[in-house]
Copies of this chain bind each other. A is one copy, B any other.
Amino acid sequence: MARKIITITRQYGSGGREIGQRLAQSLGIEFYDNRLLEIAAKDSGIHKNHFEENDEKRTNSFLYLLSTTYGQGGIPFDDTLFFAQLNAIQKVASEHACVIIGRCADYALRDFTGVINLFISAPFEDRVKRAIEVYGIDEKHAADYVKRIDKQRTSYYNYYTDKRWAQPQNYQLCLDSSALGIDGSVKLIEDFIKFYYKD
C-alpha cells in the first residue's frame, strides 16, 4: 500500500484546515499545520517566534534588518526560514503518511511520487462568515482581513515557488467547500484518495 501524502493549499476561511484535520483522523495518519514550524525551529536552531511571525507571508522590514546578521550562508533570513520549513516538510513526508496544510507543501514535495495536492476554496462571503464565527475576527474588519490574508498567501506562494497560486493545473483536485459542506468535502476527498491509491 502506497504511503499517503496529502497537501492542502487553502483559501483563508475555506475550512481547508478542518477538512485536512478530519481527513488525517479518518485515514489514521499524521496531521501537520503549524506543528511544522516547531520542527523547522528545532532542526534549524532558529527560534520558533521567527517562524510564527513570518508564517505564510513575505517578510517584514524587521526581518530584512536581521538578514545580514542572521542569514545563513549568505542567504537572506526570510529565505533561511523558508528553506528550514521546506526541509521539515520533506522530512515528515519521508518518514510517514500525513496531511500537510499550506506552507507551499505541494512545491516542497514536487519531486516526491504519489503525493496528492488539493486546493480548497469557498465563496468570499462564506469565508468572511467563517472568519467571524470560527476565528473570532471583528465583524467590522473581517472582509478586509480575509482580503489581506489572501494577498499574503498569494504573494508568499508566488514568490517562493515556480508556480502561481490558485491554478487548477497545480492540483489534482480543487474543491469549493461550500458545495458539499465540510463533511461532504471530506467524504469526496476520501473517495478521491481511495481511487487514487487504489485501495
Measured CB to CB, the residues of A under 8 A from B are: 11, 116, 119, 121, 123, 166-169, 171-176, 179-180, 184, 187-188, 191-192, 195-196
Contacts and interface: CB of A to CB of B under 8 A. Distances in A.
Given A184-B195, A188-B188, A172 B168 contact: no
B169 A123 contact: yes
Nearest to A191: B191
A177 to B, nearest CB: 9
A70 B21 CA distance: 58
A179 B168 CA distance: 13
Copies in the complex: 2
Contact of A174 (B173, B192, B196): B173
A175 B169 CA distance: 8
Nearest to A123: B169
Contact of A171 (B169, B176, B180): B176
A176 B175 CA distance: 12
Interface pairs A-B: 9 shortest CB-CB: A174-B174, A172-B179, A168-B174, A172-B176, A184-B195, A121-B169, A121-B168, A180-B195, A191-B191
Contacts of A176: 168-169, 171-173
B196 A179 contact: yes
Given A191-B188, A191-B191, A192-B180, A168 B166 contact: yes
